Amino acid sequence: MNSPNLVRVAAVQLESRDDLASNLRACEQALTEAAARGATLVVLPENFAYFGSSHGKRACAESLFGSPGPIRSALIRCAKQNGVTVLGGGWPEVSQDPERPFNSATVVTRDGEIAANYRKIHLFDVTLPSGARLQESASMTAGSDIVCCNIDGFRVGLSICYDIRFPELYRKLVDRGSEVLCVPSAFTLETGQDHWHLLVRTRAVESQSWVIAANQCGSHPGGKTTYGHSLIVDPWGRVLAEAEPGPGVIVADLDRSVLARVRASLPSLRHRRIH
């Protein structure tokens, strides 16, 4: 299936909770399904390993270096066993502040090697219209580096969830050659029902890139609910695949000729005057 001009990708939709072992088993099953359907790049959503209290996140935080803990071990094992590259999007990585780990998205190759690691830059500190107040910065440390990597011959830009509201990040990713933008997310039900499709498709259109947006769905500890509707969108803004309600896997083929045609026929990236 895959060639330098064609790659099959998958987005995994999960309903993760505060049971690390159970969540990792669900990831393993989804990755096996994605590989069986021909995907060689599989994107897991934010909080794929743990979706619970701040204390719980600190307790399961792991270092990116040294002997891998349960989360890194699962990513490495699943990547090697299934022969896929995995983007584990949004897991607690130990930072310099023991109370506030990074929220990290890590690319693990089919050989089990770490190809890239992105630490979420924009943390979700908001008061929703319902009055619910969420303050990610109270329990997580923000990153600062923009991260791209090469996967299956495509240039891939990394981001996480709330980042999608900041188009300047995606401009930087495209400036660095990105053709595929990954947005592992735990988008809330309240914001998602109004903004999710709009934002994902807008980032695809303005960046003239594919967007793989793997989202959480359903109910989670602490009364949290997420929107689901994981998406794979092409550079023209067309939805190639959308998840049904509940956990599942969606796949789509990325064809480089589509990217070339879009960027040539409407060369907005070349027409930019403000940088």
State the catalytic residues: 46, 120, 161
Q: Which helix (H) or strand (E) holds 33?
A: helix 20-36
CA angle 241, 23, 196 (to 5 degrees): 35
| CA–CA gap between residue 104 and residue 102 (Å, rounded) | 6
| CA–CA gap between residue 229 and residue 113 (Å, rounded) | 30
CA of 271: how far to CAs of 179, 206, 263, in Å? 17, 12, 11
Closest CA to 212 of 127, 126, 151: 151
Backbone angles phi, psi at 49, to 5 degrees: -90, -35
CA of 138: how far to CAs of 90, 133, 166, in Å? 16, 12, 21
Q: Where are the alpha helices (DSSP H) in 52-175?
A: 54-60, 70-82, 167-175
Structure tokens that stand for 193 in this block: 């029902």
Structure tokens that stand for 255 in this block: 């064809």
Alpha-carbon torsion 46, 166, 115, 180, what sign? positive
